[in-house]
Structure 1
Amino acid sequence: MRLLVALFSVLLISGCAGSGNDVDGPDTAGQVDLKRYQGAWYEQARLPMFFQRNCVRSEANYRLQNDGRMAVTNRCETTDGEWKQAQGEAFPQQEGRTDKLWVRFDNWFSKLFPGLTKGHYWILYLADDYSVALVGSPDRDNLWLLSRDKEIDAATRDRLLDEARKRGYDTSELIWRGESS
Protein backbone atom coordinates (compact mmCIF):
# COMPACT_ATOMS: atom_id res chain seq x y z
CA MET A 1 0.00 0.00 0.00
CA ARG A 2 2.81 2.41 0.86
CA LEU A 3 4.36 1.73 -2.52
CA LEU A 4 1.06 2.53 -4.27
CA VAL A 5 0.73 5.82 -2.39
CA ALA A 6 4.39 6.73 -2.93
CA LEU A 7 4.07 6.07 -6.65
CA PHE A 8 0.92 8.17 -6.79
CA SER A 9 2.80 11.01 -5.09
CA VAL A 10 5.60 10.84 -7.63
CA LEU A 11 3.05 11.02 -10.45
CA LEU A 12 1.42 14.02 -8.85
CA ILE A 13 4.71 15.84 -8.56
CA SER A 14 5.36 15.42 -12.26
CA GLY A 15 2.00 16.94 -13.14
CA CYS A 16 1.95 19.83 -10.72
CA ALA A 17 4.01 22.54 -12.36
CA GLY A 18 2.52 25.99 -11.88
CA SER A 19 0.30 27.45 -9.20
CA GLY A 20 -3.00 26.38 -10.71
CA ASN A 21 -3.99 29.98 -11.43
CA ASP A 22 -1.81 30.37 -14.51
CA VAL A 23 -2.40 26.97 -16.10
CA ASP A 24 -4.24 26.99 -19.41
CA GLY A 25 -6.26 23.92 -20.00
CA PRO A 26 -9.57 22.46 -21.01
CA ASP A 27 -12.96 23.95 -20.25
CA THR A 28 -14.35 22.89 -16.89
CA ALA A 29 -17.85 22.34 -15.53
CA GLY A 30 -17.93 25.75 -13.84
CA GLN A 31 -19.06 26.15 -10.27
CA VAL A 32 -19.65 22.76 -8.58
CA ASP A 33 -21.85 22.25 -5.52
CA LEU A 34 -19.43 20.18 -3.44
CA LYS A 35 -22.23 19.14 -1.10
CA ARG A 36 -23.97 17.46 -4.07
CA TYR A 37 -20.65 16.16 -5.44
CA GLN A 38 -19.78 14.31 -2.25
CA GLY A 39 -20.46 10.59 -2.00
CA ALA A 40 -19.41 7.56 -4.00
CA TRP A 41 -18.13 7.70 -7.58
CA TYR A 42 -17.23 4.66 -9.69
CA GLU A 43 -14.52 4.85 -12.30
CA GLN A 44 -15.82 3.77 -15.69
CA ALA A 45 -12.61 4.48 -17.59
CA ARG A 46 -9.25 6.23 -17.21
CA LEU A 47 -6.20 7.10 -19.19
CA PRO A 48 -3.27 4.79 -18.33
CA MET A 49 -1.22 5.85 -15.34
CA PHE A 50 1.51 4.15 -13.41
CA PHE A 51 -0.10 4.20 -9.97
CA GLN A 52 -3.24 2.45 -11.25
CA ARG A 53 -1.46 -0.07 -13.47
CA ASN A 54 -2.85 -3.14 -11.68
CA CYS A 55 -6.34 -1.76 -10.99
CA VAL A 56 -9.35 -3.40 -12.59
CA ARG A 57 -11.94 -1.47 -10.58
CA SER A 58 -11.59 1.83 -8.79
CA GLU A 59 -13.92 3.96 -6.75
CA ALA A 60 -13.70 7.16 -4.78
CA ASN A 61 -15.69 8.56 -1.93
CA TYR A 62 -15.73 12.28 -1.16
CA ARG A 63 -16.99 13.78 2.09
CA LEU A 64 -17.36 17.54 2.52
CA GLN A 65 -15.67 18.87 5.67
CA ASN A 66 -16.69 21.91 7.74
CA ASP A 67 -13.74 23.92 6.34
CA GLY A 68 -14.88 23.38 2.72
CA ARG A 69 -12.28 20.73 1.96
CA MET A 70 -13.26 17.24 0.84
CA ALA A 71 -12.00 14.11 2.57
CA VAL A 72 -11.07 11.59 -0.14
CA THR A 73 -10.96 7.81 0.06
CA ASN A 74 -9.81 6.04 -3.09
CA ARG A 75 -10.09 2.27 -3.45
CA CYS A 76 -8.72 0.05 -6.17
CA GLU A 77 -9.32 -3.64 -6.77
CA THR A 78 -6.17 -5.18 -8.22
CA THR A 79 -5.87 -7.96 -10.78
CA ASP A 80 -5.27 -10.30 -7.80
CA GLY A 81 -8.64 -9.37 -6.28
CA GLU A 82 -7.05 -7.39 -3.42
CA TRP A 83 -8.44 -3.96 -2.50
CA LYS A 84 -5.93 -1.13 -1.94
CA GLN A 85 -7.02 2.11 -0.30
CA ALA A 86 -5.59 5.62 0.05
CA GLN A 87 -6.83 8.57 2.12
CA GLY A 88 -6.44 12.19 1.16
CA GLU A 89 -8.11 15.53 0.72
CA ALA A 90 -9.28 17.81 -2.08
CA PHE A 91 -9.43 21.59 -1.83
CA PRO A 92 -9.96 24.53 -4.19
CA GLN A 93 -6.99 25.77 -6.18
CA GLN A 94 -8.49 29.24 -6.03
CA GLU A 95 -10.70 30.70 -3.29
CA GLY A 96 -14.38 30.36 -4.16
CA ARG A 97 -13.80 28.25 -7.28
CA THR A 98 -14.98 24.65 -6.93
CA ASP A 99 -14.32 23.19 -10.39
CA LYS A 100 -10.52 23.23 -10.08
CA LEU A 101 -9.28 21.38 -7.03
CA TRP A 102 -5.99 20.15 -5.68
CA VAL A 103 -5.85 16.57 -4.39
CA ARG A 104 -3.26 15.39 -1.91
CA PHE A 105 -2.98 11.92 -0.38
CA ASP A 106 -1.76 11.19 3.14
CA ASN A 107 1.61 9.48 3.04
CA TRP A 108 5.14 10.00 4.28
CA PHE A 109 6.19 11.84 1.12
CA SER A 110 3.36 14.38 1.31
CA LYS A 111 4.19 15.04 4.95
CA LEU A 112 7.79 15.86 3.99
CA PHE A 113 6.93 17.85 0.84
CA PRO A 114 3.33 19.08 1.16
CA GLY A 115 3.66 21.67 -1.61
CA LEU A 116 4.97 19.15 -4.13
CA THR A 117 2.48 16.35 -3.67
CA LYS A 118 -0.76 17.89 -4.78
CA GLY A 119 -2.28 16.98 -8.10
CA HIS A 120 -4.76 18.71 -10.36
CA TYR A 121 -8.37 17.54 -10.06
CA TRP A 122 -10.36 19.53 -12.59
CA ILE A 123 -14.04 18.72 -12.88
CA LEU A 124 -14.39 19.06 -16.64
CA TYR A 125 -17.97 17.96 -17.10
CA LEU A 126 -20.75 17.24 -14.64
CA ALA A 127 -24.27 16.12 -15.51
CA ASP A 128 -27.00 18.41 -14.18
CA ASP A 129 -28.16 15.65 -11.83
CA TYR A 130 -24.58 14.91 -10.66
CA SER A 131 -24.85 11.34 -11.97
CA VAL A 132 -21.73 11.36 -14.18
CA ALA A 133 -18.56 13.42 -14.33
CA LEU A 134 -15.33 13.83 -16.24
CA VAL A 135 -12.27 14.68 -14.17
CA GLY A 136 -8.84 15.41 -15.55
CA SER A 137 -5.67 17.42 -15.43
CA PRO A 138 -5.02 20.59 -17.45
CA ASP A 139 -2.13 18.95 -19.31
CA ARG A 140 -4.61 16.29 -20.50
CA ASP A 141 -2.40 13.44 -19.24
CA ASN A 142 -4.96 12.30 -16.66
CA LEU A 143 -8.63 11.60 -17.28
CA TRP A 144 -11.30 9.72 -15.39
CA LEU A 145 -14.88 8.98 -16.50
CA LEU A 146 -16.92 8.66 -13.31
CA SER A 147 -20.48 7.72 -12.45
CA ARG A 148 -22.64 7.24 -9.39
CA ASP A 149 -23.61 3.81 -10.67
CA LYS A 150 -21.21 0.90 -11.12
CA GLU A 151 -22.38 0.49 -14.73
CA ILE A 152 -23.40 3.03 -17.37
CA ASP A 153 -25.33 2.59 -20.59
CA ALA A 154 -23.88 3.10 -24.07
CA ALA A 155 -25.53 6.51 -24.54
CA THR A 156 -24.00 7.83 -21.30
CA ARG A 157 -20.61 6.38 -22.22
CA ASP A 158 -20.78 8.05 -25.64
CA ARG A 159 -21.76 11.40 -24.08
CA LEU A 160 -18.76 11.25 -21.70
CA LEU A 161 -16.42 10.31 -24.56
CA ASP A 162 -17.75 13.19 -26.65
CA GLU A 163 -17.25 15.65 -23.77
CA ALA A 164 -13.68 14.39 -23.27
CA ARG A 165 -12.84 14.76 -26.96
CA LYS A 166 -14.33 18.29 -27.03
CA ARG A 167 -11.82 19.20 -24.32
CA GLY A 168 -8.88 17.81 -26.27
CA TYR A 169 -8.37 14.45 -24.53
CA ASP A 170 -7.21 11.42 -26.50
CA THR A 171 -9.75 8.73 -25.62
CA SER A 172 -8.21 5.99 -27.77
CA GLU A 173 -6.10 4.70 -24.86
CA LEU A 174 -8.82 4.62 -22.21
CA ILE A 175 -8.82 1.63 -19.89
CA TRP A 176 -12.37 0.57 -19.08
CA ARG A 177 -13.73 -0.81 -15.80
CA GLY A 178 -12.74 -4.44 -15.50
CA GLU A 179 -9.56 -4.03 -17.56
CA SER A 180 -6.03 -3.43 -16.28
CA SER A 181 -3.14 -1.65 -17.92
Structure 2
Amino acid sequence: MFPIFWILLLLPLVSAQTYHWGPCPTPSVQPNFSLQQYLGTWYEIAKLPAFFERGKCIQADYTLRGDGTIRVLNSQFYKGKVRTVEGTAVVQDPKKPAKLGVSFSYFTPYSPYWVLSTDYVSGAVVYSCTDVLRIFHVDYAWILGRSRFLPVEEVEYARQLLAKENIDTFKMSVTDQTGCD
Protein backbone atom coordinates (compact mmCIF):
# COMPACT_ATOMS: atom_id res chain seq x y z
CA MET A 1 0.00 0.00 0.00
CA PHE A 2 2.80 2.42 0.86
CA PRO A 3 4.38 2.50 -2.68
CA ILE A 4 0.96 3.02 -4.30
CA PHE A 5 0.39 6.05 -2.04
CA TRP A 6 3.66 7.63 -3.18
CA ILE A 7 2.97 6.88 -6.82
CA LEU A 8 -0.43 8.55 -6.60
CA LEU A 9 1.14 11.49 -4.80
CA LEU A 10 3.83 11.89 -7.48
CA LEU A 11 1.61 11.47 -10.54
CA PRO A 12 0.46 15.13 -10.69
CA LEU A 13 4.10 16.23 -10.59
CA VAL A 14 5.12 13.97 -13.46
CA SER A 15 1.98 14.50 -15.52
CA ALA A 16 3.69 17.37 -17.35
CA GLN A 17 6.77 15.21 -17.89
CA THR A 18 7.65 12.28 -20.09
CA TYR A 19 7.40 9.10 -18.10
CA HIS A 20 7.41 5.42 -18.95
CA TRP A 21 6.96 2.15 -17.11
CA GLY A 22 10.05 0.34 -15.90
CA PRO A 23 13.54 1.52 -14.96
CA CYS A 24 15.58 4.13 -16.81
CA PRO A 25 17.34 3.18 -20.01
CA THR A 26 21.14 3.30 -19.95
CA PRO A 27 22.22 5.07 -23.14
CA SER A 28 25.79 5.31 -24.34
CA VAL A 29 27.56 8.57 -23.53
CA GLN A 30 30.16 10.65 -25.36
CA PRO A 31 33.44 8.73 -25.50
CA ASN A 32 36.57 10.62 -24.40
CA PHE A 33 34.42 13.45 -23.03
CA SER A 34 36.32 16.69 -22.35
CA LEU A 35 34.73 18.80 -19.65
CA GLN A 36 37.02 21.74 -20.50
CA GLN A 37 35.72 21.82 -24.08
CA TYR A 38 32.11 21.46 -22.90
CA LEU A 39 32.23 24.46 -20.54
CA GLY A 40 30.67 27.72 -21.70
CA THR A 41 27.23 28.72 -22.93
CA TRP A 42 24.71 26.30 -24.44
CA TYR A 43 21.30 27.29 -25.79
CA GLU A 44 18.32 24.99 -25.54
CA ILE A 45 17.14 24.04 -29.03
CA ALA A 46 14.59 21.37 -28.09
CA LYS A 47 13.60 19.39 -25.02
CA LEU A 48 11.32 16.82 -23.52
CA PRO A 49 8.83 18.54 -21.18
CA ALA A 50 10.33 19.81 -17.95
CA PHE A 51 8.16 21.44 -15.29
CA PHE A 52 11.03 23.78 -14.37
CA GLU A 53 11.44 25.12 -17.93
CA ARG A 54 8.39 26.95 -19.24
CA GLY A 55 9.86 30.09 -20.72
CA LYS A 56 11.75 31.06 -23.84
CA CYS A 57 15.37 32.06 -24.52
CA ILE A 58 16.53 29.18 -22.32
CA GLN A 59 20.27 28.83 -21.91
CA ALA A 60 22.81 27.31 -19.55
CA ASP A 61 26.28 28.57 -18.67
CA TYR A 62 28.84 26.12 -17.31
CA THR A 63 31.99 27.37 -15.58
CA LEU A 64 34.60 25.55 -13.54
CA ARG A 65 34.93 26.58 -9.90
CA GLY A 66 38.16 26.54 -7.93
CA ASP A 67 37.06 23.44 -6.00
CA GLY A 68 36.62 21.42 -9.20
CA THR A 69 32.81 21.57 -9.26
CA ILE A 70 30.95 23.15 -12.14
CA ARG A 71 28.77 26.22 -11.69
CA VAL A 72 25.56 25.81 -13.68
CA LEU A 73 23.62 29.01 -14.33
CA ASN A 74 20.34 28.39 -16.14
CA SER A 75 18.27 31.29 -17.39
CA GLN A 76 14.98 31.74 -19.19
CA PHE A 77 12.60 34.54 -20.04
CA TYR A 78 9.29 33.77 -18.34
CA LYS A 79 6.29 35.96 -17.50
CA GLY A 80 8.05 39.14 -18.56
CA LYS A 81 11.28 38.56 -16.59
CA VAL A 82 14.63 36.87 -16.97
CA ARG A 83 14.71 34.15 -14.32
CA THR A 84 17.88 32.39 -13.30
CA VAL A 85 18.73 29.46 -11.11
CA GLU A 86 22.22 28.43 -10.03
CA GLY A 87 23.27 24.87 -9.46
CA THR A 88 26.29 22.65 -9.15
CA ALA A 89 27.42 19.86 -11.42
CA VAL A 90 30.05 17.27 -10.57
CA VAL A 91 31.84 14.51 -12.39
CA GLN A 92 30.76 11.60 -10.22
CA ASP A 93 33.20 9.03 -11.63
CA PRO A 94 36.44 10.22 -13.28
CA LYS A 95 36.35 7.09 -15.47
CA LYS A 96 32.99 8.25 -16.89
CA PRO A 97 33.34 12.03 -17.22
CA ALA A 98 30.33 12.38 -19.57
CA LYS A 99 28.07 11.17 -16.73
CA LEU A 100 27.72 14.23 -14.56
CA GLY A 101 25.41 14.86 -11.65
CA VAL A 102 23.63 18.19 -11.20
CA SER A 103 21.77 19.69 -8.27
CA PHE A 104 20.02 23.03 -7.81
CA SER A 105 19.58 22.77 -4.05
CA TYR A 106 21.64 21.73 -1.06
CA PHE A 107 18.71 19.55 -0.06
CA THR A 108 18.41 17.44 -3.20
CA PRO A 109 20.69 14.69 -4.43
CA TYR A 110 22.51 15.00 -7.72
CA SER A 111 20.40 14.10 -10.75
CA PRO A 112 21.94 12.46 -13.80
CA TYR A 113 23.19 14.79 -16.52
CA TRP A 114 24.61 12.55 -19.22
CA VAL A 115 26.20 14.01 -22.32
CA LEU A 116 25.30 11.48 -25.01
CA SER A 117 26.96 13.33 -27.86
CA THR A 118 28.72 16.61 -28.53
CA ASP A 119 31.13 18.13 -31.00
CA TYR A 120 31.78 20.92 -28.41
CA VAL A 121 31.49 23.71 -31.04
CA SER A 122 28.00 23.31 -32.48
CA GLY A 123 25.66 20.92 -30.67
CA ALA A 124 25.13 18.49 -27.82
CA VAL A 125 22.57 15.90 -26.76
CA VAL A 126 21.96 15.51 -23.02
CA TYR A 127 19.82 12.97 -21.18
CA SER A 128 18.61 12.63 -17.62
CA CYS A 129 16.35 10.03 -16.08
CA THR A 130 14.91 9.49 -12.63
CA ASP A 131 13.63 6.10 -11.50
CA VAL A 132 10.61 6.08 -9.23
CA LEU A 133 10.85 2.83 -7.25
CA ARG A 134 11.89 1.11 -10.53
CA ILE A 135 8.16 1.05 -11.33
CA PHE A 136 8.37 3.95 -13.78
CA HIS A 137 10.87 6.58 -14.80
CA VAL A 138 10.79 10.25 -15.77
CA ASP A 139 12.83 11.24 -18.83
CA TYR A 140 14.45 14.56 -19.60
CA ALA A 141 16.38 15.19 -22.80
CA TRP A 142 17.82 18.30 -24.34
CA ILE A 143 19.22 19.21 -27.71
CA LEU A 144 21.64 22.07 -27.15
CA GLY A 145 23.51 24.43 -29.44
CA ARG A 146 26.33 26.92 -29.08
CA SER A 147 24.08 29.33 -30.97
CA ARG A 148 20.34 29.91 -30.51
CA PHE A 149 19.53 28.01 -33.71
CA LEU A 150 20.83 24.76 -35.19
CA PRO A 151 20.44 23.51 -38.75
CA VAL A 152 17.48 21.16 -39.17
CA GLU A 153 19.84 18.28 -40.02
CA GLU A 154 21.64 18.60 -36.67
CA VAL A 155 18.37 18.60 -34.76
CA GLU A 156 17.18 15.55 -36.69
CA TYR A 157 20.49 13.78 -36.02
CA ALA A 158 20.05 14.46 -32.29
CA ARG A 159 16.46 13.13 -32.32
CA GLN A 160 17.59 9.98 -34.13
CA LEU A 161 20.40 9.48 -31.63
CA LEU A 162 17.92 9.64 -28.75
CA ALA A 163 15.55 7.24 -30.53
CA LYS A 164 18.42 4.81 -31.19
CA GLU A 165 19.07 4.83 -27.42
CA ASN A 166 15.40 3.92 -26.74
CA ILE A 167 14.50 7.41 -25.54
CA ASP A 168 11.03 8.44 -26.67
CA THR A 169 11.10 11.86 -28.36
CA PHE A 170 7.38 12.03 -29.18
CA LYS A 171 6.81 14.86 -26.67
CA MET A 172 9.96 16.76 -27.62
CA SER A 173 9.28 20.41 -28.42
CA VAL A 174 11.32 23.20 -29.96
CA THR A 175 12.37 25.95 -27.57
CA ASP A 176 11.52 29.51 -28.60
CA GLN A 177 14.81 31.37 -29.06
CA THR A 178 13.37 34.36 -30.94
CA GLY A 179 13.56 37.92 -29.62
CA CYS A 180 16.30 37.06 -27.12
CA ASP A 181 19.12 39.46 -26.22
TM-score, normalization: structure 1? 0.74
Q: Where does the alignment leave 5 or more consecutive residues of structure 2 unmatched?
A: 1-12, 15-23, 130-136
> Which residue of structure 2 aligns with residue 48 of structure 1?
49
> Which residue of structure 1 aligns with residue 100 of structure 2?
101
> Which residue of structure 1 aligns with residue 74 of structure 2?
74
Question: Is residue 122 of structure 2 the alignment partner of residue 122 of structure 1?
Answer: no
- Per the TM alignment, residue 68 of structure 1 is displaced from its structure 2 partner at its CA by 2.8
Contact 1:34–1:64, Cα closer than 8 Å, also in 2: no
Contact 1:45–1:176, Cα closer than 8 Å, also in 2: yes
CA offsets 1:104-140 (integer angstroms, 9 cap, x no match)? 11xxxx33x3xx332110001112x442111111456
TM-score, normalization: structure 2? 0.74
Contact 2:25–2:167, Cα closer than 8 Å, also in 1: no
> Which residue of structure 1 aligns with residue 173 of structure 2?
175
Aligned-partner residue type, residue 91 of structure 2 = P
Question: Is residue 125 of structure 2 the alignment partner of residue 134 of structure 1?
Answer: yes
- Per the TM alignment, residue 56 of structure 1 is displaced from its structure 2 partner at its CA by 2.3
Contact 2:72–2:86, Cα closer than 8 Å, also in 1: yes
Contact 2:48–2:173, Cα closer than 8 Å, also in 1: yes
- Per the TM alignment, residue 154 of structure 1 is displaced from its structure 2 partner at its CA by 1.0
Residue 66 of structure 1 aligns to a residue whose secondary structure is: coil
CA offsets 1:67-114 (integer angstroms, 9 cap, x no match)? 332111000111x33211011111012134210011011xxxx33x3x
CA distance in 2, matches of 1:33, 1:91: 13
Residue 86 of structure 2 aligns to a residue whose secondary structure is: strand
Contact 1:93–1:102, Cα closer than 8 Å, also in 2: yes
Contact 1:74–1:86, Cα closer than 8 Å, also in 2: yes
Question: Identity of aligned pairs, percent?
Answer: 29
Residue 163 of structure 2 aligns to a residue whose secondary structure is: helix
Q: Which has the higher helix share?
A: 1
CA distance in 2, matches of 1:137, 1:93: 14
> Which residue of structure 2 aligns with residue 27 of structure 1?
28
CA distance in 1, matches of 2:153, 2:161: 12
Residue 27 of structure 2 aligns to a residue whose secondary structure is: coil
CA distance in 1, matches of 2:25, 2:59: 28
Question: Is residue 61 of structure 2 the alignment partner of residue 61 of structure 1?
Answer: yes
CA distance in 2, matches of 1:100, 1:150: 25
What RMSD in Å do the two structures reach over aligned CA positions?
A: 2.2
Number of aligned positions between the proteins: 149
- TM superposition outliers: structure 1 runs of 4+ over 3 Å: none
| Structure whose alpha-carbon radius of gyration is higher | 2
CA distance in 2, matches of 1:117, 1:55: 25
